[in-house]
Amino acid sequence: MKPAPFEYAAPDTLEEAISLLEENEGDAKVLSGGQSLMPLLNMRLARPEVLVDLARLPDLDYVREEGGELVIGAMTRQRTVELDPIVRERHPLVYEATMNVAHPQNRNQGTFGGSLAHADPSAEYPALALALDAKFKAVGPDGERVIDADEFFVTYLTTDLEMSEILTEVRIPALPPGAAWSFTELARRHGDYALAGVTSFFTCDGGKVSSARIVLFGVGATPVRAEKAEQAMVGQSPSSALFESVGKAVLDDIEEPQSDVHASAEQRRALAGVLTTRGLGDAARRAGIAL
């Protein structure tokens, strides 16, 4: 199928882009890398009257570090994130998440901000952002605001961004020093969206877990933080038995996952538990923690 007819605009400034969104409120859509929007247009699941292409906007394509935080411009291609030496050397969870996003061809076009604004609950970057308490900078007709990750993802393909707001930058704190970490998912083929996945990290003090973070994806309308399971880890010695029990505990943090042609709700629940146990084990081994 071909998209329904639309007007195309490629503004040169952020202000112009925001004005176009405001003038056509509800009928305009931002275009970044097009890796999710173009299929939606082609299948006529989205029918905007105006497409506002951000490709010409200056200064939204960068990866840098500020005060230990990773700062990524919304229009930075996922492939740029993948190849950035700062990401590879100092932000391993961001690197690992990126390597699970789609295929190299998609990452060449798809942007960091586009994936987050799209907010697919099976996508890697939203889970990463929630796990690391990322902050989202949005600019709209009323100026700039910063949105916390736990408020950004509202429901399936829906964020806290207003119709006339553009996501311009994401700030991602580094992992806590010495944290054991993992990013684990199961997809039918590498590069497909995950059926379910989990990213986790924990720190230890005196041989006991002192903090833990577990975020699941593909098992709800947004990424899901498994807070009860996190609490169950704190104060315990890392062990295979603990990770088995945490794998069971995450099920209490999940409401009913979606059933679709790819997997049933039951399969996604079971995967969430297994992947949590496996991920925590991987994290411990990588950090040299004897189990």
Q: Output phi, psi for 11, to 5 deg.
A: -65, 155
Give CA–CA dist 13/168, Å, rounded: 12
Site residues (CB under 6 A) for ligand FAD, limited to 22-61: 29-37, 54
> Which string of x and - marks every residue 65-104 that binds ligand FAD (by CB under 6 A)?
---------x--------------------------xx--
| Cβ–Cβ under 8 Å, residues 21 and 163 | yes
Residue of 17, 94, 123, 170 that binds ligand FAD (CB under 6 A): 123
Instruction: With contacts defined by CB under 6 A, name the span among 5-13, 61-69, 112-120, 205-213 that binds ligand FAD.
Output: 112-120
Length of the chain: 291
The β-bridge relationship of strands 158-159 and 143-148 is unpaired
**Nearest residue (CB) to ligand FAD, 170 versus 232:** 170
Largest CA distance in the chain: 63
Which window, 65-73, 80-88, 161-169, 207-215, contacts ligand FAD (CB under 6 A)? Answer: 161-169
Comparing CB distances to ligand FAD, the nearer of 123 and 149 is 123
Q: Find all residues with CB under 8 Å of 132, minimum gap 6, and list them.
A: 93, 94, 149, 172, 173, 175
Q: Kindly state the smallest distance separating residue 50's Cβ from ligand FAD, in Å.
A: 11
CB count, 10 Å around CB of 126?
26
204-263 binders of ligand FAD (CB under 6 A): none
113, 121, 197, 247: residue in contact with ligand FAD (rule CB under 6 A): 113
255 is written with which tokens?
């409401």
**Is 284 among the residues that bind ligand FAD (CB under 6 A)?**
no
d(CA 137, CA 189): 33
Contacts with ligand FAD, residue ranges (CB under 6 A)? 29-37, 54, 74, 101-102, 106, 110-111, 113-115, 117-118, 123-125, 161, 166-167, 192-193
